[in-house]
Amino acid sequence: MVSQIHSLNNVGQFDAVAPSGQLAFARMSIVYAENGRGKTTIAAILRSLSSGDPKMISDRHRVGAADSPHVVLQDLDGAQHVFQNGAWSVPLSDLVVFDDAFVAENICSGIEIEAGHRQNLHELILGAQGVALNAALQRNIACLLYTSDA
């Protein structure tokens, strides 16, 4: 879990930000601000840290910035997670960001309902045991389809 932001440089709204006070995250934190203040950028940074995918930050390289994005975050154990030269020093896989990207990937949203949305919605409703049972069911269905094609 991320406990603090040490610096945000050349990413999205953030040119060179280093919070002067103790801006600490709790086990569950809500980020709230006016439009255009960098909430989506912070969510993208955290999602990138969780997945290790540098594209989420690289795509938000600050317009007109000569230097590459550079981010320094700290976890609860005091370890620093640094995004530099297009990569994280160490990803933080137990971090979950519940933002619009999470909703789009896991829950039905918007006008269009695709099969993947329905599947993810059922998995969300059924819980861990239901997801495991569903995975076993899907493997059995795939096995049946494979044997019937042979």
Residue, of 108 and 131, whose pLDDT is higher = 131
Q: The whole model's pTM is what?
A: 0.70
Alpha helices, DSSP H only, in the chain? 39-51, 55-58, 100-106, 115-149
Confidence of residue 104 (pLDDT cuts 50, 70, 90): confident
The predicted pLDDT at position 8 comes to 92
CA of residue 98 relative to chain centroid, distance: 8
Residue 150 has pLDDT above 60, yes or no: no
pLDDT value for 117: 64
Edge-to-edge strand ranges of the sheet holding 87-88: 14-17, 2-11, 70-75, 80-84, 87-88
Q: How many CB atoms lie within 10 A of CB 143?
A: 10
pLDDT score, position 136: 87
Q: What is the pLDDT of residues 52-83, one digit of tens each?
A: 999 999 999 988 888 999 999 988 888 999 99
**pLDDT score at 141:** 83
Q: For residue 101, count other CB atoms closer than 10 A to its CB.
A: 14
For residue 24, name the pLDDT band (cuts at 50, 70, 90).
confident
Higher pLDDT, 110 or 7: 7
The residue with greater pLDDT, 88 or 96, is 88
